Structure 1
C-alpha cells in the first residue's frame, strides 16, 4: 500500500551537527586504543569461542504466507540488527544484511553464523526499509539490490541516498533524515533520533554521512531501534521525548574496552534501556557475525544475568521466531544460547 511520504522537523538543535562537512556526536567520543594494540589483542587475546560451532544456532524458517497471515503486529529477527516488523498489516525491515558476509566482498570478512530464516527473493512486498548508518554490517549492497524492486520506500540518514541511487534504487523512493525529523506513513510514524557512533565505508569517508536510531510509533505501540551506539546522554533525551516505550531493540555486541565510544557493553545497554523508559528489552547486534574479541554468547549471557539480578527477563526469541507485539509486556522467551555455551 502506497502512502504519501512527508517529513516534519520535531526538534531543533542537534540535527545541525556538521563540522567542516563531517558529522559529529552530541557527547565527546571516548578515544579508541591504538590500532597496533588492537591488532595485538586480536592475535593473542581473541576468545576461542568468538564463533559458535557451525549449524548450532537455532533458526526457525519463515514463509511469505506466514508473514501475511492474520492481522496482528509481529516482529521477527533475521539476524544481527536485521529485523522484520509487521506493523498494521505492512512489512518493514531494519538494516537488512542478508548476505553471507558483512564485508565489502563476499569472499572475505565476517561470515554469518547461521542460515537466514527466509531468503530475500521469498519476502513479500515491503512497505519500507529503515537504515541506521552505512557500515557494512548495517547497509549491504547485495541485499539492497535484491530487495529494492519490492520495497516502496527507504528511510535513511542524511548522505546515504547517493549510495542507494548508485546501487539502483529509484531516487523517488528515498527520503533522507537529520536527527529529530519524522515521517507519518499511513498509521505509522517514524522519527530519526540521535546515536553515538560514526559512519564510513572506505578510507576517506569517515563521518561523511549521518548515523541515527529510530523511534517507531504504531496506533498501539512505541518501539525504539538503536542502530549502533555507544552509551551517551541522548538516551535520556529520547526517553523523555518519546517514552515510555513498549519495546527497546538495543545494540549489545561487538564491544570492547579498546573502542568504548561506539558500541555499548551489556551493562551500558541495560542503563540505556532504563534511560529510555522502556518496558522490555530485546538485545540485537549479536549472534550473527564475529566482529569483536568476546565470546559470541557473551552479550546475551551478560545482559540476561544482569536482567535476572534485577528481577526481569529479556526478550530473546530464536532467529526467525514470531514475537507478538501486542503481548510483548508479558512475553516469555527462552535463553536459547545457554545450552550452546560450552
Structure 2
C-alpha cells in the first residue's frame, strides 16, 4: 500500500535490462554515442517533430530549469500557477539557472485559466526598466494537485502567451500519464498547441532517472547544450541515460506504464467516493488529494498505508487533514484494494 510517490516505485525490469546491455564494451561519452542519437531520433518521431532538438538530463528539476533558461533573460519573469512544481518544489532552481528570472504566480490553484493568466501578464512589463519583463509561460500537465488540463485548456493558455509574443514551456514530469488520460499523442499535447519546449518525463513512470527535453525550435539547441554543461547536467557516461529512454520508448512502454498507473488511480478514486471521502482532485490521472480526519489517517498508516499528509500532523484526531495518494505503474489493483479495504473498515 505504497502511495507516497511515483518516484518511490521500482524501475521497470526492461529498463534494468537495457542498462545492463548498454554496459557492454566501450563507446564515446557525453552523448556522442549511437544509442543517444538513435533515442533522439525516436523521440523526434514520437513527437512528429523531425527538426526538434532532444536532450537527456537526469532529473526533472534540471529539465525544467534548463528549459526555462533558454526561453528567458535574467530580467524576465516566468508566469506559472501558484501551485506549480517549479515554484513549490524546485528550491528556486529556475531562478538560479535563468540567472535571476523571477516567477510570477497566477492564482487559482494548480490549473491556470486564460483570464487569470492574461491579467497576470498585463500586470507586468509596464514599469519599463523598473520591473521584470515578460519572459515565458510554464504549464504543468499533469498539474500539481493531480488534475489534468484538457487540450482545449492548454491551447487557450498557449494562445494567450502567443498574443504577448511569449514562449511556452511544458513541465511534463507526468507527461505520459497526461497523454494516457487525454488519449492524445505527444504532438497533440505539445507543439500542435503552441508549446515551444516540452519535458518528456520518465523518472516518475518506471525509469531510474532520466527526462528528455524536447526543443521544437532548433535555433535554441546549442544554447541548451552550453547551459546543460555549465550547469553540471551533461553526463559523461551518457549511454546509461539513453539506455533507459530506449527501453521506455520500445513498444510504447511509456504509455503502457502510464495507463497502468492511471487505471489504479481510477479504481482508487472510485473507492474513495464510494466510502464518502471528500476528494479534492477534480480530474485525476495518477495523483489524488483527499481529506480525512487525522485519526483516520493514522489508522490507515498503522495498517501499512504509506502516503504524505499536507497539513498539521500534530492536531487532534478530529482535525481534517489533506492526504496525497500517488499510484505508480507497479502498485496494481491489489495494492489499491488493500487500501480501500482498510478505509472501508474505518468509514
Instruction: Name the TM-score, length of structure 2 as normaliser.
Output: 0.30
Structure 1 or 2, whichever has the larger Rg, is 2
Greater percentage in helix: 2
Instruction: Name the TM-score, length of structure 1 as normaliser.
Output: 0.31
